[in-house]
Amino acid sequence: MRAYERLLRYAQFDTASDEHSPTCPSTAKQRVLADALAGEMRAMGMADVRVDENGYVYGCVPATAEGRPTIGLIAHMDTVDCVPSAPVRARIVENYDGGAVRLDNGEWLDPKVFPDVAAAKGKDLIVTDGNTLLGADDKAGIAEILTACERLLADPAIPHGKVMVGFTPDEEIGRGADRFDISGFGADFAYTVDGGAVGSIEYENFNAADGFVAVHGLSVHPGSAKNRMRNAALVAMEFAGMLPPAETPEHTEGYEGFFHLCGMQGNEDFARLQYIIRDHDRAKFEARKAAFERIGAYLNDKYGAGTIEVRVQDGYANMREVIEPHMNVVRLAERAYRAIGVEPFSEAIRGGTDGARLSYMGLPCPNLASGGMNYHGRFECIAVQDMDAMTDMLVQLVSIDPE
């Protein structure tokens, strides 16, 4: 079976996670896919397959050569819930011509808006109907990993060490590594397969924090509100307006950090803002958090103590500082790409992966491509041939002599 065929099947599972849920996995529907994957892994002959009480899936391909490292391959099962996640109706645009693709809902997947898509010219492009995401983030990674494992199991002449496989829930809400069983996993090092263009190796990511702002107002009848009302919604807008307007995701790229307003609600009496705060540079990251809190202090001085409550909660950190002592892991991935005729490149992730958290937990874990484009939206797509290439790369990755 080819990787794209698996992706089309996995896409039928609605696995959106829910940041407001206290459970693990955060949605029961992720467990449905977990059980299906475990069944598939057992059927293809993988060993030690299990789904634990938290919905994590584990299994392994036994070694065929001695003296090789135990390599882990990891992907996540959940998708975002900020756009519709079901029912996914995908189709394949064969021999894509490089132009705009009319989706089934009448909208257009246009390279003028999504320039990365033009690189898929001449390939078979999997697109959505325009109403939901595709789920290639990260079901493409799962499909590529299991297709590579199937190939290894079918050909015991391929020399490789033990290959450990792990599929996590709730990566999209920042919890994918929370309950990952690193000691039970038993890998010397690992890779998440959760990136973009084929050839990429990512070992730098944002430092991340969540910012929460609560505004306590004083509601008074508008007819008698002069010099009395303190409108919480307006104070919240004032807080938002004091952050640098050009330092938002839509105005930044590369190593530039940002403040991103991702949730708001409120009225005259009470208002709430939710932000994510990101920067690759540790000093700049700390400065962003300090500025966020300083605005709250200023508005409390202006409107009275207790008007504003600001809370900043750290999330994940830039994995570069813990990967750099283990650059042999990156070099191995570079060799695997070159073995399939692809020149590797490194880029900083404008986000985070399970690998960042796992690296700080003691498992060096850079991120590899899965081939997908336009993640977290209705214009998500992926090329069949890029999934084939990543499958080939993973086979090379675990079978190349690490020297």
Active-site annotation holder among 78, 172, 279, 380: 78
- Does 171 participate in catalysis according to the annotation? yes
Cα–Cα distance, 95 to 133 (Å, whole number): 22
Pick left, alpha or beta for residue 242 (phi over 0 → left; psi -120 to 50 → alpha; otherwise beta). alpha
Sign of CA dihedral 354, 357, 361, 363: positive
Per-position DSSP letters for 335-379, written without gaps between them: HHHHHTT---EE--BSS--HHHHHHHTT----EEE--EESTTSTT
Residue 268 near residue 229 (C-beta atoms within 8 A): yes
**Peptide bond between residue 210 and the one before it cis (omega within 30 degrees of 0):** no
Residue 327, C-beta contacts closer than 8 angstroms, at least 6 positions apart: none
Farthest CA pair distance, the chain: 84
Active-site annotation holder among 171, 268, 279, 392: 171
Exposure string (b/e) for 212-226, b if CB count within 10 Å is 16 or more?
A: ebbbbbeebeeeeee
Residue 25 near residue 32 (C-beta atoms within 8 A): no
Residue 127's nearest CA partner among 89, 87, 160 is: 89
Helix (H, G, I), strand (E, B) or coil at 212: strand
Sign of CA dihedral 25, 28, 31, 33: negative
Active site residues: 78, 171
